[in-house]
Structure 1
């Protein structure tokens, strides 16, 4: 037996309720700065009631339910209620268009759709094109809407008994997270009970989380980061969670302190956004001891952030498909946050060349992660056997990301394989050029892509956001790069922009930048 055993989300929550019945489990601040709490006992009772309401609606084990919700309390209740009965949560981005939602609903064959009143209009034009949907449920709505179930009414009219719940296994799929499509349609990553419990165990042990901690969530709940690293790590140790409906750079530490958050999780963009705000010395006196982060942040920004806010930053590496974080900087050893750390508990990591052979230390190769499908790695892609076969080579999951191992034994991220630029036969990592650009004091953020070039295969173009109050010319930045990079890595073109197209967690959408060039 492994660390997961036969546990499920249903059994895990029930166990924690026995241990911490009257402890506040959830602390929430909504968009109007109103705060709410819910104890383990209250949450569990509401979850069981909603589970019975779903059964009354005809939901069965294996059915898919689409959640099109902002960060709210109802998201958590629905997630665990569906897991109770073996139904599958399909969380989606509230910024998704009607066409994008039509694809996800039809591909997942969802039979129930949950959202809020302000998003209903988005679906009016596609009602006839999503024939599998049998019921629509609305959360946080104060008026009756014809043909739509009210979330609170469903709970009030249900019992909290568990007699009708079906048998649930650790290997059962309980969620499906769609990856953002760049060159193809989004793929549905199948996540099991075991997956969730494993990443909770892994994360809690990797950052020394205890029942006295309170992970602070500001990233979207539909994203794996908030579910895997924050919620599940809290639940497995019997901690509480704090979360907000929206991220606010200026109020991040004030919200954390008010809600009692102790461990944060951010991406590079939110870190830069916080640094760009006028510094409030009171924010140094905050409750956060540690912030996990991913994606490239300049070394001087890391130093500034830790110094201003009196906390530790810890870079890690993971993706929706790996479930847990296969690489992380050690909490009890030397942190090298320009690296993505070392292999974590339960995973093996190696770097492969284009022929599938392991590269030597110091050489760049694709990150491959060894684990167990359905337990420490995703079960597979829904209705996409070909993509699953391409991603898994035996027990190894191919990430599509390049890295190298330094002499110190730490892994250093290079770039997404698809973001490598081919210039005159030389491979150029866009991330390396971006890192040099943000070293310039006037540069806030940079995005580098390859553009077609008849002579050199690809030319290098950089998009740059300048810090407020700063000024710099294209020639100055090119000179800055020439002094720090080999000639073939220096960008030929620099375009100054106000912002980049981004995902909800702040990742730059380079595929959209590339499309803009062809318009």
Structure 2
């Protein structure tokens, strides 16, 4: 029988009967209108201010032709304008499409095309990546620009016009929305092909806030601090934790190892969020006074290797909370800090079902590795599918379970341990990387005949990107020149660190590349290393 753990319940008066963003925002303002809700460290919104901004940004969107169900692409870093657009879309019933600010080339073009976004809202310094795209088949009718265009910046977009982001408009009444209506489309890395747009309903984010905030023990008056990007589920759902637990969310633009603990002190944070690779980076720095001058008691820290957890807590006084969730699911495996076990994700949370299965979806015995599949008890606690990709939706949700693609082991006492990804995924700098998209960028180089991209181990508890490249007949490939070619075509974190220039790739009898052989071979004395070359990628 499956062991489950109860998520720490939120107080009854905060439980919502309607789980849409407008309902939650209105209820929060009614409870504590003057209490702070959001800050980007340049501005600070109370609950009532956030409600007014949602109404008036929705008014501006409607005045420019955006309606319920329309998609609005958002290419923006962690700043107030990001949340303005998110709240305005949610209030109006439009669907926000946050895009990784490092997206370039084929990936960015695919997201804009697949989502069918009518409007793009983008920071000025990110517009060059959009201007470089072929506008064929894009649905964009307009681009709103946040900030001033740099000298020499683009004067036109590949589709539609370009205007400064309009001011807030007249306040609108909230759209009539159901819990299952789409709130956002978040694009995954596309580990085995093109990125998939995960349709996230309003209620999914409520449950993200409920379970994550409950496990973290968030209470009224807490200050939640994140420097993780709002275009990912991790940071975006922290806003809902603040919303439903009467806390405040403070965001920074990016992670800075030298400035992280000072930021905790300056913001008076009590809860924070880190990724697996951030912890060994912070531990590798000299001890500083700010490590013990902060107020943070706990951090959500998925994927931190067990050997670092105790050391980090002892040194910094911050307890680390592991767990399991994905863009398509929710905080399904975890528990409070008292239930933590180093090296394990935790136990199944009440409200979810889980199985560990073989390739035919038959459950495997405890102690044996298999694929983790999940489902939720609450309506719309999981994503609704992949936008515009019905065949991928059917594949992932076959037999009425969501197939995570992750290999795990469940112990007899109900604790789950992560093993690896079933598919060919690469995890680097806190980002999931599609080997397919990296391969397509390299293959577009005229001197490349074929390529295989795969993960090799890193010293920072994550992956490094390696590519084995076969040149065209008679061609010579300079590794650094190939990196310079890839740089404008890929997110910086996806540019390979290691290159092997080879005569051929190992293949099966039917011609499929055997990447496992390349991974086993790994880095050799003949491998070219970007870090050793002295060249530094632009970010």
Q: Does 1:387 align with 2:401?
A: no
Q: Is the 8 A contact 1:446 1:463 kept in 2?
A: no
> Quick one: which of 239, 254, 258 aligns to 1:246?
254
Range that drifts further, 308-317 or 407-416:
407-416
Deviation at 1:232, TM superposition (A): 1.2
> Quick one: which of 517, 520, 523 aligns to 1:458?
517
Deviation at 1:373, TM superposition (A): 8.6
For the structure 1 residues 446 and 98, does the alpha-carbon distance in structure 2 shift closer, same or farther, using more than 3 Å as the test?
closer
Q: Which residue of 2 aligns with 1:507?
A: none
Q: Is the 8 A contact 1:264 1:292 kept in 2?
A: yes
Range that drifts further, 129-138 or 81-90:
129-138
Q: Is the 8 A contact 1:313 1:337 kept in 2?
A: no
Q: Which residue of 2 aligns with 1:150?
A: 164
Length, aligned pairs only: 438
Q: Which residue of 2 aligns with 1:41?
A: 48
Q: How do residues 490-509 of structure 1 correspond to structure 2 at under 5 angstroms?
A: 498=531
Q: Give 3-state SS (helix, strand or coil) of 2:209's partner.
A: helix
For the structure 1 residues 111 and 314, does the alpha-carbon distance in structure 2 shift closer, same or farther, using more than 3 Å as the test?
same
> Quick one: which of 168, 171, 174 aligns to 1:160?
171
Deviation at 1:239, TM superposition (A): 1.0
Q: Which residue of 2 aligns with 1:123?
A: 130
Q: Does 1:398 align with 2:411?
A: no
Q: Which residue of 1 aligns with 2:451?
A: none
Deviation at 1:127, TM superposition (A): 6.3
> Quick one: which of 273, 288, 296 aligns to 2:296?
288
Indicate the structure whose relative CO is greater, using CA pairs within 8 Å and at least 6 residues apart: 2
Measured in 1, the distance between the counterparts of 2:189 and 2:17 equals: 32
Deviation at 1:141, TM superposition (A): 3.6
Q: Which residue of 1 aligns with 2:29?
A: 17
Q: Which residue of 2 aligns with 1:96?
A: 103
Q: Which residue of 1 aligns with 2:145?
A: 138
Q: How do residues 259-274 of structure 1 correspond to structure 2 at under 5 angstroms?
A: 259-274=267-282
Measured in 1, the distance between the counterparts of 2:235 and 2:344 equals: 22
Deviation at 1:447, TM superposition (A): 3.8
Deviation at 1:417, TM superposition (A): 1.1
Deviation at 1:450, TM superposition (A): 12
Deviation at 1:196, TM superposition (A): 1.1
Q: Is the 8 A contact 1:138 1:149 kept in 2?
A: yes
Q: How do residues 87-486 of structure 1 correspond to structure 2 at under 5 angstroms?
A: 87-126=94-133, 128-129=135-136, 131-141=138-148, 147-151=161-165, 153-155=166-168, 158-162=169-173, 165-228=174-237, 230-295=238-303, 297-322=304-329, 324-331=330-337, 333-371=338-376, 375-418=380-423, 443-445=459-461, 447=463, 458=517, 460-461=519-520
Measured in 2, the distance between the counterparts of 1:454 and 1:139 equals: 48
Q: Is the 8 A contact 1:192 1:379 kept in 2?
A: yes
Q: Give 3-state SS (helix, strand or coil) of 2:250's partner.
A: strand
For the structure 1 residues 459 and 159, does the alpha-carbon distance in structure 2 shift closer, same or farther, using more than 3 Å as the test?
closer
Q: Is the 8 A contact 2:34 2:47 kept in 1?
A: yes
Deviations along 1:363-387, one digit per CA (max 9) or x if unpaired, are: 1111011226961111011111111
Q: Give 3-state SS (helix, strand or coil) of 1:359's partner.
A: coil
Q: Is the 8 A contact 2:57 2:88 kept in 1?
A: yes
Measured in 1, the distance between the counterparts of 2:327 and 2:294 equals: 30
Q: Give 3-state SS (helix, strand or coil) of 1:148's partner.
A: strand
For the structure 1 residues 116 and 239, does the alpha-carbon distance in structure 2 shift closer, same or farther, using more than 3 Å as the test?
same
Deviation at 1:265, TM superposition (A): 1.6
Q: Give 3-state SS (helix, strand or coil) of 2:517's partner.
A: strand
Q: Is the 8 A contact 2:179 2:203 kept in 1?
A: yes
Q: Give 3-state SS (helix, strand or coil) of 1:46's partner.
A: helix
Q: Is the 8 A contact 1:450 1:460 kept in 2?
A: no
Deviation at 1:272, TM superposition (A): 2.0
For the structure 1 residues 192 and 4, does the alpha-carbon distance in structure 2 shift closer, same or farther, using more than 3 Å as the test?
farther
Deviation at 1:396, TM superposition (A): 1.3
TM-score (norm: length of structure 2): 0.75
Structure 1 portions without partners, runs of 5+? 30-34, 421-436, 465-473, 476-492, 500-519
Measured in 2, the distance between the counterparts of 1:36 and 1:361 equals: 51
Q: Is the 8 A contact 1:329 1:337 kept in 2?
A: no
